[in-house]
Amino acid sequence: MLRGERGAAVREALQLQIAIGEFWGARRFVSVSNVHMMGDIEVLGDAGKGFLERVAASAAKAVCSTSTNARCIDFNFTERLRQDAAAVAKETQVIRALRDMDITTVDTCINYQTVYQPHFGEHVAWGDTGTVIYANSVLGARSNFEAGPAALAAALTGRTAEYGFHLDVHRKGTLRVDLDFVPLDLADWGAIGKVVGAANQHYLAVPVFTGVDCHPTADELKHLGASLASYGSMGMFHIVGVTPEARTLDEAFGGNRPTSVLKLTRSDIEQVYAGYDGGDRPLNLVVFSAPQLSIYELKSLAGLFRGKRVKPGAQVFVTTSRGVKSHACQQGYLQTLEEAGVLTLEGVCFYILQNLPQMREQNGWHNIVTNSAKLANIIGAHKFNAILRRTADCVDIATGAV
């Protein structure tokens, strides 16, 4: 590949991977069986789009199954969201370039719930931090955070440098978190992720949770992981008795001594909620997104909204994948949400929506209420004031019940 038999784009991809591997002191490459990459016009910009199109034009192809992350345009609602026509056209071109490279444009950040579930020990190269922490922690697969250019390189070469979470040594626990309560809502799991992540920002910090006296669902683990990754830049966690590399506390730590032991109580989580304040501005935007909702989250949300209406002047958004939205339509959840006045977007994530700053101004949005701790963290770059609330509280705010 370095000699260019597979073209300049593949040679450059491998050169990039070698430079990245050298930085981290990797000794070799590992084969990857699946790649998940981020590439939409909002994150790419014109420069990144131009790069993708050059690679596609060179006839370079993905050599392993490759999926795409959530993007910034929902083609069904571009007019309603007043998304820029030029950006919509560019997004179409981006998708075409990706498909030309044999990349499957599923546009979801919950690929691990809907598209591909790597087995224990399988090496993959995934983008979107929430997907990586889920793969490592819950599935026992192995991936580092692979940013767009790095994931594309892995798709073209079928390999990635062996560093970080591909190595046993970095998969062991480094700090301990004892819970003395049972989290009751997705937002509680996210709040735990915030407390632990914000206090221990380090890619190779691996929290080990003990005292989890329940059987967390995939969606709960998804919110915990997405939050840890967002606030702490973390790529792995263990829950003793739950996740596959933590059958016991000793196995989770693998000989490491915890650098710290944190005790989390319900009052710590209540303090997280108390830390958010809407001031005297209206609570007129409620968003369920980041990560996209699973079919069971949509079911639960439809149950909470059934028979109610979004209060006048407020808007409520849900984001999910195209596949999940289709299922939700079959099951009637989508119609229930629509009857309540909730707009369900597909193939996107709220915080990367093209035109979001303009949307904020046009709609007079200041506060954003959400049950996603991750969203509450990252929406700040768009100058929103985020307010994290439990799912049912979000629905009450949206329908004017409080």
Partner 1 sequence: MAERNTISVKRAHGAVVEGEALISSEGFSPRYDLDRWSGEISRPGHALEGVNIRDKVLFFPSAKGGIAAGWAFYDIKAKGFAPKALVFGVTNPVMVQGAIFAGIAITEGWDIEPSEVVNNGDWVRVDPQNRTITVVRSSLVSAANQQTTQAE
Residues that bind partner 1 (CB under 8 A): 16, 19-20, 22-25, 38-39, 43-48, 51, 69, 127-129, 144-151, 163-164, 201-203, 229-235, 352, 377-378, 380-381, 383
Identify which of residues 194 and 325 has a Cβ nearer to partner 1 in the complex: 194
User: What are the contacts of 384-390 at 24+ separation with CB within 8 A?
Assistant: 384/360, 385/278, 385/279, 385/281, 386/276, 387/276, 387/277, 387/278, 387/283, 388/187, 388/190, 388/191, 388/194, 388/272, 388/273, 388/276, 389/187, 389/273, 389/276, 390/184, 390/185, 390/187, 390/188, 390/273
CB of 344 to partner 1, least distance (A): 23
- State in angstroms the smallest separation of the CB of 383 from partner 1: 6
Quick one: which of 293, 244, 370 has its CA closest to 130?
A: 293
Peptide bond into 282 cis (omega under 30): no
Residue among 72, 141, 144, 84 nearest 112 (CA): 141
Phi, psi (5° rounding) for residue 133?
-65, -30
Query: Considering the complex, what minimum distance in angstroms separates the CB of residue 397 from partner 1?
Result: 22
Question: What tokens were used for 368?
Answer: 């954003």
* Least spacing, CB of residue 201 vs partner 1, in Å: 5
State how far the Cα of 165 lies from the Cα of 162, in Å rounded to an integer.
8
Min dist. Cβ of residue 23 to partner 1 (A): 5
Which residue's CB is nearer to partner 1, number 332 or number 364? 364
Smallest distance, partner 1 to C-beta of residue 25, A? 7
Which ranges of 182-321 would DSSP assign to H, the alpha helix?
186-199, 218-232, 249-253, 266-274, 295-305
CA distance to 259, 303, 328, 369, 384, per residue, from 337 (Å)? 46, 9, 10, 17, 25
Q: Residue 174 CB, nearest distance to partner 1 (Å)?
A: 13
For residues 227 and 86, what is the distance between their CA atoms, to the nearest angstrom? 33
- Closer to partner 1 by Cβ: residue 70 or 316: 70
CA distance 17 to 31: 13
Choice between 55 and 316, CB closer to partner 1: 55
Output 347 or 398, the one with its CB closest to partner 1.
Answer: 347
CB of 241 to partner 1, least distance (A): 27
Question: By CB neighbour count within 10 A (0-12 exposed, 13-18 middle, 19+ buried), where does 362 fall?
Answer: exposed
- Complex with partner 1: residue 118 or 225, whichever CB lies closer: 225
Nearest CB to partner 1, comparing residues 228 and 240: 228
Measured from the CB atom, is 21 or 325 closer to partner 1? 21
Judged by beta carbon, residue 108 or residue 344, the one nearer partner 1 is: 108
| Nearest alpha-carbon partner for 135 in 111, 160, 163 | 111
**Tokens for 282?**
């209206």
Q: How far is the CB of 292 from partner 1 (least distance, A)?
A: 15
Query: What are φ and ψ of residue 372, in 5° steps?
Result: -105, 115
